[in-house]
């Protein structure tokens, strides 16, 4: 059976991991967190002192994922989306959280002042939504609210319906 590939993107802290893991268990698709994948394989290209984090080696990440993506049935989670091959994804979800909600979540993570401010600005200016629209066909890019504890369940129900329809449309 053919299964679609799904991209979950958005500012750090919007709830991609929470949604991605629950969606994987509800759908049977495989969840891949690009941050974790990079850490496991040390897929880095230097260190960003300002943001206090390693710099992702995007080419090596793409090479690492290519095989699985070509088979289908993968949920990819990352706070960036312009370096993945466009043809990988059948649908793209950009999660969004209100600034006050996001601020609290990032504060809990212990982000430094600059990282906090920049991520909140990233959300205010819808940077990831713009990046998704610039990287994928507009009709496959959707925004999802991610503020309240009940949001993941609502989002998952919608996505499960979409997966079911996609599978029907691609079986024969």
**Binding stretches for ligand DAT (CB under 6 A):** 10, 12-18, 105, 146-149, 151-152
- Structural tokens at position 28: 């049977």
Residues 13, 102 contacting (CB under 8 angstroms): yes
Instruction: Report the nearest approach of ligand DAT to the CB of residue 1 (Å).
Output: 28
Indicate the residue among 110 and 149 with the shorter CB distance to ligand DAT.
149
- Residue 148, annotated ligand binder? yes
Half-sphere exposure of 124 (CA within 13 A, CB side): 9
Instruction: Report the nearest approach of ligand DAT to the CB of residue 8 (Å).
Output: 8
Indicate the residue among 57 and 151 with the shorter CB distance to ligand DAT.
151
Rounded to 10 deg, the angle between the 16-27 and 151-169 helix axes is 50
Instruction: Report the nearest approach of ligand DAT to the CB of residue 119 (Å).
Output: 10
Instruction: Report the nearest approach of ligand DAT to the CB of residue 2 (Å).
Output: 27
Angle at 68 between CA 64 and CA 71, to 5 degrees: 150
Angle at 17 between CA 101 and CA 139, to 5 degrees: 85
- Residue 16, annotated ligand binder? yes
- Residue 168, annotated ligand binder? no
Indicate the residue among 116 and 167 with the shorter CB distance to ligand DAT.
116
Residues 115, 51 contacting (CB under 8 angstroms): yes
Residues 77, 101 contacting (CB under 8 angstroms): no
Instruction: Report the nearest approach of ligand DAT to the CB of residue 148 (Å).
Output: 5
- Residue 15, annotated ligand binder? yes
Indicate the residue among 89 and 93 with the shorter CB distance to ligand DAT.
93
Distance CA 155, CA 159 (A): 6
Binding residues: 13, 15-18, 109, 148
Binding residues for ATP: 13, 15-18, 109, 148
């Amino acid at each position: 059976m053919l299964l679609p590939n799904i991209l979950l993107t958005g500012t750090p802290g919007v709830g991609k991991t929470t949604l991605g893991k629950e969606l994987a268990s509800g759908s049977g698709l495989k969840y891949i967190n690009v941050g974790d994948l990079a850490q496991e394989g040390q897929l880095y290209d230097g260190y960003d002192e300002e943001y206090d984090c390693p710099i992702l080696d995007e080419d090596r990440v793409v090479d690492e994922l290519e095989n699985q993506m070509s088979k289908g049935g993968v949920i990819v989670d990352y706070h960036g989306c312009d370096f993945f091959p466009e043809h990988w994804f059948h649908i793209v979800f950009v999660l969004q959280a209100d600034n006050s909600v996001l601020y609290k979540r990032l504060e809990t993570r212990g982000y430094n002042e600059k990282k906090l401010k920049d991520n909140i600005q990233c959300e205010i200016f819808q940077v990831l939504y713009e990046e998704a629209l610039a990287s994928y066909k507009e009709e496959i890019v959707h925004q999802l609210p991610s503020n309240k504890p009940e949001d993941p369940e609502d989002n998952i129900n919608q996505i499960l319906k979409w997966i079911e329809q996609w599978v029907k449309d691609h079986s024969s």
